[in-house]
Amino acid sequence: EPKLEYLQSRLELTDAKLRSMIIKLPQLFGYSIDNNIAPKLCYLQERLHLNQTQVAKIISKQPTILCMNVESKLEPNISWLQERLNLTDAQVSKIIWKLPQLLMYSTSDKMEPNLDWFQKVLKLSNSQTQKIVMRSPNILYYSIEDNMKPTLTWLKRRLLLKNNSEL
């Protein structure tokens, strides 16, 4: 199958990884190499200034990226991250490299509310927020109610803090 050969070669996949990807995403069989898969891989490589091996690792971590639309999902998410956090091309590439699933989340329903909450509660400047997200981009998708609030409460109690300004 030419599609499988292309994926294996382009993404530097072992037989086992290719098999795993196809099991997770059987819809790849329905995608055209020329009209869908190759353009997405090229887009990621060019937009994020990555080499072929780096793109392959991103797709290995989050193969569903191949099912996403560039214009309606990938580019808007990358642009949002870059603009909202005032990131350079290299910085946004680093975040996506660390956590490619950020390309999957809604900016308006998940990432923006998380960032706003985090910044407000901890009284962070934009540059402080940027530094934290660069270190731990996971905060963009953690649940505020189930993760971030309880963690902050625990930290306050643990450190015997009376208010956020003492963080």
Cα distances (angstroms) measured from residue 139 to each of 86, 95, 106, 129: 17, 12, 14, 10
pLDDT tens digits for 30-63? 899 999 999 999 999 999 999 999 999 999 889 9
Tell whether the model's pLDDT for residue 162 goes beyond 70. Answer: no
Supply the pTM of this predicted model.
Answer: 0.85
Mean per-residue pLDDT, 123-140: 94
The token duo for 144 is 């505020």
Tell whether the model's pLDDT for residue 166 goes beyond 80. Answer: no
Q: How far apart are CA 6 and CA 147, in angstroms?
A: 41
pLDDT band at 24 (very low <50, low <70, confident <90, very high): confident
Q: How far apart are CA 162 and CA 159, in angstroms?
A: 9
